[in-house]
Structure formats: structure tokens, C-alpha cells
Chains A and B, each alone.
Chain A
Amino acid sequence: MALVEQEHMDDTGYRLSEAAPGDFIALLKPRVMSLVVFTAFVGLAMAPGVPNPLLAMISLAAIAVGAGASGALNMWYDADIDAVMGRTAGRPVPAGRVTPGEALSFGLILSVLSVSTLGLMANWTAAALLAFTIFFYAVIYTMWLKRSTPQNIVIGGAAGALPPVVGWAAVTGTVSIEGLVLFLIIFLWTPPHFWALALFKSGDYERAGIPMLPNVAGHAATKTQIFVYALLLAVSGILPAVMGFAGLAYGVVATILGGGFVWYSWQVLRMPESDVSMKPAKTLFGYSLLYLFVLFTALLADRLLAGFGLVS
């Protein structure tokens, strides 16, 4: 039972927590974490060499926890703007279920634990990359870029693109061109994915004072940039086949998927300013999630089939 001096209770804001374990899991951004784990797994599976399966699983868990830690640090810092956006107002910190101090401690402890575990169980190159990813997301993106430039998610997207590089490094101990191609694919995927969301959620971002591209440069410029990035993404998606570390079947899948991305981006580009429902933007947002998942699944399948000698 807690013992508290009554006279200090109001001054210190002391309270007994009603936070459930689920609130701390929510701080880890499980949906983002699942994407991180998946892309890191593909990086790990694509890397040359056969890692110890147990160490590979522990490495993936460490990468997942590292991603979760950066999510917790993001929610600690962004509680003020999360509170005014409908999409994020129910998060544990703005909703008052977890205090900012608890979220900060949780994020910092998990950061240290995940980086040290990856360093000890895999290697320190992968651990350094994971530490850089957490730093980039929490400090460079969340604390600096997000509130200061409409290019926030372009540069900040590097943090979300690093997990396959970390996965690759966990096996090889090095950073290679193949890992960087996987990085490039996610890096180019991030802007059209988030700008599609920002188009139909621009009111939310405006209320929170976040300079997302649609609020700063306007919808027309955003649509154009989405289309340009879609073209670059479609080309980068087939690079693994062109460079020879994925097969022809993957190349065909990547071309079809890239074509779909360009098509849906074209629909967004043609979307009239008067369209308040913004269905094409919503469709592109949904398709972008499917695109990344299927593309990386195709890479994985290609590697597995090649391992069994079923494709060249």
C-alpha cells in the first residue's frame, strides 16, 4: 500500500496507475512493429550464410523490441500533438493511462536492452545499426523533423527502412549493396504511403500543427510528388531481380506490383480538388500496405525456392 504525505499529493501530481499491460504494449506500436519484424526477417533470410535459428529468432526479437522502444519514445514526445488528432487521441499517454515519465523510462530501458541483446547474441555492427535506427526515429524524426519540415517523412523514413539492413547485418556483420537496395525500396515507399494518408487526414495534421506536405505545399503538389515517388518505387522494386539477387519470378511480381502502385497513384493525381471523400487516396494507402507485404513475401519466397533449387 502506498504511503504518501497528503500535503504533497496535489503538488507532485502523484497518482496510482491504472495502466494495464495492454497500454504498455500499445506504446510499442504493434502494427508498425509487425512490419519491422517482417522486413527485418526478409533482410535476415536474404543474407548469405545460414544463421543459427535460435540466434536468428533472438535477433529478430531484439529488433522488434528496439522498434517498439522507438515507438514508446515517439509517443512520449508526441503526446501533445497526439491528443489533438482523432487517429491518435486514444493512445495511452494522451488518454492519461500512462504518464509521460513512464513512457520515457519504458522506451529508454527497452532501447538499452534490445541493443545490448542484439550486440551480444548477433554482432555489434547490427547492434550499432539498431541503436542508430532508434536514435534516428526518436530524435531526428520525432523531435526535430516532424514538426519543422514537410520533408519530415521523406528523411525520417530512413528509420523505417533500416530494419532489413539490420537483419542482414545480424547474419553477415556487414552492410552490403543488397541490404541497401531493400533499404531503398522501403525508403521510396514511405513518402507516397504517408502522403496518401496525409491527404485524407490533412485536417488532423493541420489542427496538430504538423507541417505535412498537403498542409504546406497543397494537395496538387502532394499528388504530383506521390506519383513521382511511385515511379521511383516501381523501378527500385525490380532492382533485386536486375542485380541478380532475386530471380525472374520475383521480377515479374515486382513489375506487376509496381505497375499497380503507379496506377493507383495516377488515380490520386487525377483526383479532383472537390473530391472530399478522397477514395483514390484511401485506396492507395491500403494498396501501399499490400504492396510492401507482397513484395517482401515474393523476395522471401524467391530465396526459399532458390534454396530448394526450384528457381535459378
Chain B
Amino acid sequence: MDKDFVKPTEAQLKARRKRSIALAIALAAFVVIVYIGSLAKLGPSLFDRAM
């Protein structure tokens, strides 16, 4: 099957890079929020459990 590659323009590449960075920051923030929130919700006893 013949395939053609679509070459992104400079503006598209720049926009994609910015979106990737924003998504990475948002996901990292969400992880931190869930981690801190879990600690606040469940308390220090969260770590005091039998393995």
C-alpha cells in the first residue's frame, strides 16, 4: 500500500511540544494531588500496615 508521510509545519511542531509539556505538568500535578490527598485523608497510619 502506498503511504505518504505528513510533514508537520514548524507551527504544528511547536504547538505539539507545548501541549506535551502542559500535559506532563498536569499529570504530574494530578499525581502529587492524589498522593498528598491520600495522606491527608487516611493519615500517617497509611504507612503503618502489615506487609
Contact = CB atoms under 8 A, between A and B. Distances in A.
B28 interface: no
Interface string B11-27: 11001101101100000
A164 to B, nearest CB: 22
Given A55-B41, A121-B37, A121-B41, A6 B4 contact: yes
Most buried by A among B3, B7, B9, B41: B41
A171 B3 CA distance: 58
A20 B33 contact: no
A2 B8 contact: yes
Given A2-B6, A117-B33, A121-B41, A16 B12 contact: yes
B47 interface: no
Given A18-B11, A20-B18, A5 B4 contact: yes
B1 interface: yes
A308 B27 CA distance: 39
Nearest to B2: A6
A17 interface: yes
B6 A4 contact: yes
Given A24-B22, A121-B37, A5 B3 contact: yes
Contacts of A3: 3, 5-6
Contacts of B2: 6
Interface string A10-32: 00000011111100100000000
Contact of B33 (A1, A5, A61): A61
Interface in A29-80: 52, 54-55, 58, 61
A19 B1 CA distance: 31
B4 A4 contact: yes
Interface residues of A, number: 23
Contacts of A21: 18-19, 21-22
Contacts of A58: 33, 36-37, 40
Contacts of A20: 15, 18-19
B40 A1 contact: no
Interface string A111-140: 001000100110000000000000000000
Contacts of B6: 1-4, 9, 16
B37 A19 contact: no
Nearest to B20: A21
A24 B19 CA distance: 9
Contacts of B41: 52, 55, 120-121
Given A55-B40, A61-B33, A117-B33, A17 B5 contact: no
Interface in A251-304: none
B19 A5 contact: no
Interface of B: 1-9, 11-12, 15-16, 18-19, 21-22, 30, 33-34, 36-37, 40-41
7 contacts: A3-B6, A6-B4, A9-B6, A20-B18, A52-B41, A58-B37, A117-B33
Interface of A: 1-6, 9, 16-21, 24, 52, 54-55, 58, 61, 113, 117, 120-121
Given A1-B7, A17-B19, A121-B37, 20 more contacts: A1-B5, A2-B6, A2-B8, A4-B6, A5-B1, A6-B4, A9-B6, A16-B6, A16-B9, A16-B12, A17-B15, A20-B19, A21-B19, A21-B22, A24-B22, A54-B36, A54-B37, A55-B40, A113-B30, A121-B40
